[in-house]
Structure formats: C-alpha cells, structure tokens
Amino acid sequence: MTEQTADSIIPAGHQAETHGQLTVFSVHPAELETVVLHLYRERQLPLLMITATDERVEGRGFRIWYIFGIPGENRFVAPFLCLDGTVEFPSLAPAMHEAWAYERRIQTFFGLRAVGHPHPLPLILHENWPADCYPLRKDFGWRTRPESAQGEPYPFQKVAGEGIYEIPVGPVHAGIIEPGHFRFSVAGEEVVHLEPRLGYTHKGSEKLFEELPLPDKIRLSEKISGDSSFSHCLAFCQALEALAGTSVFDRARYLRVIYAELERLANHLGDLGAIMVDAGFNFGGAQCSRLREMIMQINEILTKSRFLRGVCAIGGVTKEIASEAAARLTSDLLRIKEDFSGVMEVAGSSASLLNRLITTGEVPMEIAREHGVVGIAAKAHGIASDARRDYPYAAYDRLFFPTAFAQARGDVYDRFMARATEVPDSITIILTALSAMPPGEIKPPSPSFSFRKNAQALGIVEGWRGNIVYFVRTDEKGEISRVAVRDPSFLNWTVLGYAATGDIVPDFPLINKSFNLSYSGNDL
C-alpha cells in the first residue's frame, strides 16, 4: 500500500476535524457507501470499528462512526453519519461483509435500523430482552431492569438433506470455560454447518463506562476480557491520554511493552499447551503449562497480580521494575526460551501431533479477508496485521519487531505455529526493552486529568489474540459519554463456523482451542 495520510484521503468538499491521531468528517447517507468503500477497497485501509453514539441531548441526534486505520502513519480516519429525525441508515453489509456484525450490534443496542441488511437479527441480547428496549441510548437508565420478554426462539439456520441431524452443544460446558452455544448440523461425524450463538456473558460493560467514576472505568477495562487485562486497560488509557493531551514518561513506555509482552507470553504458552493436550500430546501440554505458570509467577512477583491488574494508569504505569528484578527477569526468560525451544523440537518431531494439526480447521483465505480476521487467525494466513508495527505505541517504535509469520493455509497447525513464533520474539522484545529502558519517572505525580470537550480519540493495542480497539468520546462538558470496545474476538468468532465445516465433530474442541476466543470480550 502506498504511503498516505489522513489529509490526503478526505474526499473533496468535506471539512475534516483532527484530534490527535484521529481525523473525522461528516458524510451524507447518500454518499456513505461511495466514501467508505473508497477507503476500504481502493485505499485498502483496515476497518477497525463501526459504532454509534447517542448525542440527542446535545442536539446532534445519533451518529454512526466508520473508523479506519492508516498503517505506517499511526493515524486514523473516521467518516461519520448524522442521523437527526430518523433512526434509519444505509446498510453496507451487502457490499462489505465486515460491516455485517457491527450493524447488527448497532441495531440491537441503539435501535438504529440498517436499511438493506441481509440478516438483521439481534446480536448479543437474547429473546428474553424486550424488542423495543435499547440499552445504549442515553434515556435508558443503567439501573433499569426491563420486564422479561417472550420473544421468538432464535432461528438457527436449518440444513436439509438425507441423514442430516443436529447436535446442540452448550451453553453450559463440562469445564470452567465461559458459556456459549454451538449448533452443529452433521452428516455422520462430518460437520456440514456450525452456528455459534453467544451473548450469555453480556454484562452491560459499555453502559457502565458511561456511569462509573474514572478510576472505576479504568478498572472496568481490565475486566472486559480477563486474560487480556493489561492490553485492554492500555488501549483505554491511550485513548484517554489522547483526549487529555497527556504524554507518557519514556521509562513507562518501555515498562508498558514489557508487561504487554509478558501477558502475550503467558497466553501463548497456555494455548500451545492446550492445543497439544487436545491433540493427545500430553508431554507438550504439561511442559507448556509449566512454562506458563513460570510467567504467571513472574507477573505476581513484579506487580502483585498474576493477570497484571492495577498496573496500567493514565500517563504511565504503577509498577516499577528495579535493577535487581530486571536481572532476575532476564535470567528467567532466557531459561524459559531455552526450555521452550526444546519442547517445540520434540513437538515438531511428533508425527501423531502434526497429523492432528495439519489441514484441520482450515479457513479459506477469501473468508478470512472478508470477515476482517485479526491477530493469530490473520497471521495463520500470512496476513501481516499487527498494531505494534502498524500503529506503534508505548516504545515499540524503538525496539526489535518480529517479522510476519508467512503461512497461508489458515489451519490449526498454522495458528499453532503463529503462536510458537511469537514466543521467542516476545522474549527478545522484553530483553531488549530491559536493556534499553531509560531512567526516570513512571507515572504523573497528580492523578487529575481534564479531557477535551466534544472530542473523540482512539486507543489500539495488539493483544495476544489480535488488536484491541477503544473509541472514546466526550460531551460538551468534557466528560466521557461513550466508550466503544472492540475485542479481536468480535471479528474472529465470525469465521469459526467456516473452520469447522468439513471436519469431524471430535475435531471441534481442537479447532475451537486453536482460536481460543473470548466469550466475555465479545459479549461486553
């Protein structure tokens, strides 16, 4: 993609407004498809989020935001629609599949109708939620408990044919995983169709962001998806820092990198072990579990939290790494790197393991691109998508960065190897950050911040599953009025059904684990 800036891609005749890294401009509904598809197809900009805001109190009606990134420029551009006196807007789903789930979510939570959407079913909220009750509108009180409705049962897609039968799985599972329902249509053991249904862990997080005091908002961001506590909080804090015009101390930038990579290491090691266990290779499972526990104990020693909670703050971090702790961390990581290399050498020589992983759970490249997959699922296709490189934050622009993982099948093996490739790279990043980290302060002395009025900002972080995006908007008083969150799982859940099609039912746990998507991060 040729180099481009936000200013160069604003259509003629549109007046743009820039706040920090984010440039926004209003478009008319009649020109929406032309403008958005120009950015998406001709400019080939990645779509980061579509969301809505209710600004009727300020006399601006509803707004719908289409947020794109400009990789390499570390900038973002967002055309937006103003809906005043109407709740209808043109659907882009027929022309741009990535818009499909975003528009359904906007319909469900704001009551704004995407005209022309091919499949406008509610998303997240179930049939016991009243059909005319929209929880992200400003006139819906956060303490409101609506009467339980008796809506029509969810219409799972039916597959007809001789010998086809359905297997319902979940939402309660035989383990400690979160709830989610999977409806299999199978012929014998072969999966003909799989349809996940989520929403069972919906907890009203985006509504809570509107009501809680700022310190509790930051704590809430750590609970969006518990295994990504630091990355979610970092993305939120980066958006708040942009709104407040707050700079981050250099030392804190390096510490943010270290903590983010420790979180990535713990989760990749856990997933690699779980995949090997599901494939019957218990040696690899046990060893990776051991290595993950070592990282979790490092987290606790450094921060008093195994999940790195309470570490990120606006303007910096709350936990220092002294020279003695840095030396110990270096020694521990070098030992883990050596151990991991040995484990992967044994795993790579196991024909039974490779037989279970290779060609299992393939996602066609066309499907991956149409659905906008990110993170591990994208790298398994050789799609070079990584916010650490595309939109450098913290100190990533000053550190070693890994090369893209060049695979193309998009099967369980490629997702397995994408994780395995990132483990030594993350260790190298941490070691480099420890040696290059300058002295200095790690957080502002005063916790008081004021935000720009009627402004918006974006925070993006490459979590271990993929990029995490926070869109934050303030009202005319400078108070936070909207926090929209997009976990990578929101995108990657949409391709799980394709990954299982054509495989056998007993392989589904392995396929599902190779994605290891967040229920909580999707349901919000």
pLDDT digits 0-9 by tens, 166-198: 999 989 887 778 899 999 999 999 999 999 999
pLDDT at position 173 is 84
pLDDT digits 0-9 by tens, 440-480: 999 988 777 899 999 999 999 999 999 999 999 999 999 99
7-115 and 225-485: same fold? no
pLDDT at position 490 is 97
Task: Please name the helix (run of DSSP H) or strand (run of DSSP E) that holds residue 293, with its range, or none.
Answer: helix 282-303
Please choose, from the candidates 440, 219, 437, the residue with its C-alpha nearest in 3D space to the C-alpha of residue 330.
437
**What are the φ and ψ backbone dihedral angles of 158, each rounded to 5 degrees?**
-95, 135
**Dihedral over alpha carbons 89, 92, 94, 98 (to 10 degrees):** -130
pLDDT at position 2 is 43
**Which overall architecture, per CATH, does domain 225-485 show?**
Orthogonal Bundle (1.10)
499 by Cβ neighbours in 10 Å (0-12 / 13-18 / 19+) ranks as buried
The residues, ordered by sequence, that sit 6+ positions from 422 with a Cβ below 8 Å of its Cβ are 264, 268, 402, 405
Rounded-to-integer distance, Cα 154 and Cα 197, Å: 9
Please choose, from the candidates 267, 260, 316, the residue with its C-alpha nearest in 3D space to the C-alpha of residue 449.
316
pLDDT at position 151 is 81
Average pLDDT of the segment spanning 214-231: 96
Predicted TM-score of the model (pTM) = 0.95
First to last CA, the chain: 34
513: helix, coil or strand? helix
Higher pLDDT, 409 or 99: 99
pLDDT at position 147 is 87
pLDDT over 70 at 380, yes or no: yes
Domain ranges of the chain: 7-115, 164-197, 225-485
Q: Is the dihedral of CA 312, 315, 318, 320 positive or negative?
A: positive
Q: How many CB atoms lie within 10 A of CB 319?
A: 19
Please name the fold of domain 7-115.
Beta Polymerase; domain 2 (3.30.460)
Do residues 44 and 384 lie in contact, with contact meaning Cβ atoms separated by under 8 Å?
no
Q: Is the dihedral of CA 287, 291, 294, 300 positive or negative?
A: negative
| DSSP β-bridge partners for residue 51 | 65
Longest Cα–Cα distance in the chain: 70
Mean pLDDT of the chain: 93
Confidence of residue 1 (pLDDT cuts 50, 70, 90): very low
Confidence of residue 404 (pLDDT cuts 50, 70, 90): low
β-strands 88-90, 113-115: how paired? Answer: parallel
pLDDT at position 80 is 96
Choice among 8-22, 42-56, 261-275, 308-322 with the minimum mean pLDDT: 8-22
What percent of the chain is predicted at pLDDT more than 70?
97
